């Protein structure tokens, strides 16, 4: 079942309907649904040529695979048995026998999936694509879609490449589903509270959510997917790093640090002993592009590189580091079908509370939209004071209309009572707001305020799990 992606499909259809050549670049982390998006877009279109590269293979293997795929497209058995000697010959043949021929006036769509594998990690193929695009494909109104799951390669060698500079007409950095779309993907067959637990563990990555058996309870699914030696998610963390990065161990060291603390470039360098500067900056930039790390500028700091803090934003990696990795030996050797219950016996509710805070940070734009001020947001993030460990604002917005919104995030299965008021008042009293700004207060919780708190009108905004899932 295909869910969501309405904005992305609208952009692709607009490009397809144009009367000119279109070069679309689509990238995003593995499992995020790029191929599914393109497959949905291509449904029913008459003149489509789709080529997915081999995950492991040198240039000769990639060319052989391309030749076989082209042979199937054209119903040419000889092509299925003969590989092109190089990409120039492959694209020349394709241009003369496919692009030039056309088909009833329909726009020809060329889809190259996992471009980084097809290019074997090098940019020579991109330069050749530039030649054929300029001289043969664009003049014939071709729609070329370049797609890849190694974001660092796609950004460095495609989006920012000199070869394709100014030629890309559509760029889509595909992210996870919206929470409401994830709820729909599960068929709304589990409660909103249980669905939220899945999102706190797996995020809104479509492929992860598709593994959930909606006829099983939360604990049953966690044991089957994550705490069984045959669990499909057991090796996912290794796959994330080995498929994305050339030095997976180095990236993993950074991730482990950022799972526990917001850290600056300097702090990361000191603890990991990776020299600060270009090398570490490149590592962090690649983690950000892979949607694993997010940068924050603290509310009370000036906008500068020195004030930026970084945090791990991938939900599953947080869960993996806390509960799966420490229990890998137990998972491999135990015959128990309830390892998750054993591993999460203490502290899991507290972990869910922190995970809900991270969830709100990640979906701060959606929360602002629900509260009605998305167009006014200038800055957002958590606020800490390293000199006062008792001072923390879970989420804070700085708005263009000179309003600061202080958010209190509560992961509780009960409605929130008036006992929260002194806690929030203390935080607001310690907060130094810019001159001329007004403070508003927001409560983000599962089930909202109880009747006395609602009647007190202490909070200016309240967001519940029903609001988040669009119920």
**How do the domains of the chain map onto residue ranges?**
6-173, 178-362, 371-471
9 has pLDDT over 90: yes
Q: What confidence score (pLDDT) does residue 226 get?
A: 97
The CA radius of gyration of the chain, in Å to the nearest whole number, is 25
Percent above pLDDT 70 for the chain? 96
11 alpha-carbon distance from chain centroid: 19
366 has pLDDT over 80: yes
384 has pLDDT over 90: no
Question: How far apart are the C-alpha atoms of 444 and 38, rounded to whole Å?
Answer: 35
102 band by pLDDT with thresholds 50, 70 and 90:
low
Question: How far apart are the C-alpha atoms of 313 and 16, rounded to whole Å?
Answer: 34
Nearest residue to 280 (alpha-carbon basis) of 252, 251, 305: 251
Cβ atoms of 287 and 255 closer than 8 Å: yes
Q: What confidence score (pLDDT) does residue 389 get?
A: 56
The single residue listed with the structure tokens 């990696």 is 317
For residues 334-339, average pLDDT: 91
What architecture is domain 178-362? Orthogonal Bundle (1.10)
pLDDT tens digits for range 221-275: 999 999 999 999 999 999 999 888 888 999 999 999 999 888 889 999 999 888 8
For residues 20-26, average pLDDT: 96
Class of domain 6-173: alpha beta
pTM, two decimal places: 0.91
> What is the separation, in whole angstroms, between the first and last Cα of the chain?
20
128 band by pLDDT with thresholds 50, 70 and 90:
very high
Degrees to nearest 5, angle at CA 56 with 51 and 57: 80
Please state, rounded to an integer, the average pLDDT across all residues of the chain. Answer: 92
Q: Alpha helix (H) ranges present in 261-405?
A: 265-272, 278-289, 315-319, 328-333, 339-343, 348-362, 364-371
pLDDT tens digits for range 387-415: 555 557 889 999 999 999 999 999 999 99
For residues 119-146, average pLDDT: 94
Q: What confidence score (pLDDT) does residue 304 get?
A: 64
Given 3.90.870, 1.10.3470, 3.30.70, 3.40.1350, which CATH number is that of 371-471? 3.40.1350
Q: What confidence score (pLDDT) does residue 289 get?
A: 92
Residue-level length of the chain: 471
Q: What confidence score (pLDDT) does residue 234 get?
A: 94
* Tokens found for residue 226: 């994550």
The DSSP bridge pattern shows strands 438-445 and 461-463 to be parallel
62 band by pLDDT with thresholds 50, 70 and 90:
very high
235 vs 300, residue with greater confidence: 235
335 band by pLDDT with thresholds 50, 70 and 90:
confident
Beta partners for residue 148, in sequence order: 27
447 has pLDDT over 90: yes
For residues 176-204, average pLDDT: 94
Question: How far apart are the C-alpha atoms of 166 and 163, rounded to whole Å?
Answer: 9
Question: How far apart are the C-alpha atoms of 312 and 261, rounded to whole Å?
Answer: 9
* Tokens found for residue 207: 């492929």
4 vs 1, residue with greater confidence: 4
> Is 33 exposed, middle or buried (CB count within 10 Å of its CB: 0-12, 13-18, 19+)?
buried
385 band by pLDDT with thresholds 50, 70 and 90:
low
SS3 302: coil
Question: How far apart are the C-alpha atoms of 212 and 201, rounded to whole Å?
Answer: 12
298 band by pLDDT with thresholds 50, 70 and 90:
confident
């Amino acid at each position: 079942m295909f869910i969501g992606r309405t904005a992305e499909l609208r952009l692709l259809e607009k490009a397809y309907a144009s009367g000119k050549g279109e070069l679309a670049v689509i990238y995003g982390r593995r499992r995020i649904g790029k191929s599914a998006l393109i497959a949905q877009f291509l449904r029913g279109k008459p003149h489509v040529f789709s080529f997915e590269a081999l995950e492991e293979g040198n240039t000769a293997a990639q060319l052989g695979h391309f030749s076989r795929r082209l042979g199937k497209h054209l119903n040419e058995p000889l092509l299925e048995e003969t590989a092109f000697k190089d990409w120039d010959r492959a694209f020349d043949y394709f241009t003369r026998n496919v692009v030039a021929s056309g088909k009833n006036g329909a726009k020809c769509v060329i889809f190259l999936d996992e471009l980084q594998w097809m290019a074997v990690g090098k940019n020579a193929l991109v330069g050749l694509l530039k030649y054929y695009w300029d001289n043969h494909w664009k003049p014939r109104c071709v729609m070329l879609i370049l797609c890849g799951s190694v974001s660092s390669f796609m950004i460095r060698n495609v989006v920012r490449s000199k070869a394709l500079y100014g030629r890309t007409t559509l760029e889509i950095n595909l992210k996870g589903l919206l929470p409401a779309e994830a709820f729909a993907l599960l068929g709304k067959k589990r409660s909103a509270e249980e669905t939220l637990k899945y999102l706190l563990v797996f995020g809104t990555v479509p492929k992860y959510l598709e593994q959930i058996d909606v006829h099983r309870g939360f604990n049953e699914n966690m044991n089957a997917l994550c705490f069984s030696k045959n669990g499909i998610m057991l090796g996912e963390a290794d796959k994330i790093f080995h498929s994305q990065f050339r030095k997976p161990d180095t990236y993993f060291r950074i991730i482990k640090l950022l799972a526990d603390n917001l850290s600056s470039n300097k702090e990361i360098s000191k603890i990991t002993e990776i020299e600060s500067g270009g090398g570490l900056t490149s590592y962090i930039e690649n983690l950000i592009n892979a949607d694993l790390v997010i940068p924050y500028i603290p509310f009370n700091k000036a906008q500068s590189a020195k004030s930026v803090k970084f945090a791990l934003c991938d939900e599953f990696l947080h869960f993996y580091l806390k509960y799966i990795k420490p229990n890998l030996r137990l998972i491999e050797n135990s015959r128990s079908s309830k390892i998750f219950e054993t591993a999460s016996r203490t502290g899991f509710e507290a972990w869910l509370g922190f995970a809900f805070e991270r969830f709100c940070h990640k979906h701060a734009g959606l929360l602002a939209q629900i509260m009605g001020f998305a167009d006014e947001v200038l800055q957002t993030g958590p606020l800490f004071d390293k000199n006062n460990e008792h001072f923390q604002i879970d989420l804070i917005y700085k708005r263009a209309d000179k309003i600061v919104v202080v958010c209190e995030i509560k992961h509780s299965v009960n409605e929130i009572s008036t006992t929260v008021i002194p806690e929030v008042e203390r935080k607001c009293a310690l907060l130094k707001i810019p001159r001329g700004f007004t403070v508003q207060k927001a409560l983000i919780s599962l089930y909202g305020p109880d009747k006395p708190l609602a009647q007190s009108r202490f909070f200016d905004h309240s967001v519940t799990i029903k609001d988040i899932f669009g119920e």
